[in-house]
């Protein structure tokens, strides 16, 4: 494997495969549980690859997936670019901090793209925390006439191997 590009070295704690459980809720849907896998890798360029998949806790059916990239354009800044199979693209920008307690980043959407058949999403906001082999996150969403509100939260653990 190539060396990690120095521009994304601050994101090294993210590298690997993470699995765990989460809960989704929104004013327009029933609350649900999900199992998730996130894989974050690199190819030696100034970005990390991001792939996420979820399945229903009750019967294992696929729920959601997203694919994208993480970039660090300047010290303390982070960009997340994501494509959803539901016809949504998302560009998020925000801050990243790393210290002895781990890594944290918070991003807000600066652009949401929608195909003609996609549901109306007007804003997304994500917060990630990594401490050792535990990753926690929350997602807030403004969609279908509902203002920005909590949507998802999960706790994942890094998989060895």
Annotated binding site: 28, 119, 151
DSSP SS3 for 148: strand
10 Å Cβ neighbour count for 59?
Answer: 6
With CA atoms as reference, report the closest residue to 52 among 117, 113, 128, 146. 128
Task: State the Cα angle at 31 between 111 and 133, rounded to 5°.
Answer: 70
List the end-to-end C-alpha distance of the chain, in Å, as a whole number: 15
- Is residue 63 within 8 Å of 85, Cβ to Cβ? no
Annotated binding site for heme b: 28, 119, 151
* C-alpha span between 94 and 109 (Å, rounded): 9
Neighbouring CB atoms inside 10 A of 90's CB total: 21
Find the DSSP H helices in the chain: none
């Amino acid at each position: 494997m190539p060396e990690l590009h120095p521009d994304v070295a601050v994101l090294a704690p993210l590298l690997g495969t993470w699995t765990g459980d989460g809960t989704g809720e929104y004013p327009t849907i029933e609350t649900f549980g999900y199992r998730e896998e996130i894989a974050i890798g690199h190819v030696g360029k100034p970005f990390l690859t991001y792939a996420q998949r979820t399945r229903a806790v009750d019967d294992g059916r696929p729920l959601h997936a997203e694919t994208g990239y993480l970039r660090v354009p300047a010290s303390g800044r982070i960009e997340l670019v994501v494509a959803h199979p539901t016809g949504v693209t998302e560009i998020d920008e925000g801050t990243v901090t790393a210290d002895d307690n781990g890594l944290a980043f918070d991003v807000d959407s600066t652009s949401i793209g929608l195909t003609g058949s996609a549901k109306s999403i007007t804003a997304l906001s994500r917060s990630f925390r990594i401490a050792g082999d535990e990753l926690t996150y929350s997602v807030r969403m403004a969609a279908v006439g509902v203002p920005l509100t909590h949507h998802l939260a999960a706790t994942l653990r890094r998989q060895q191997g």
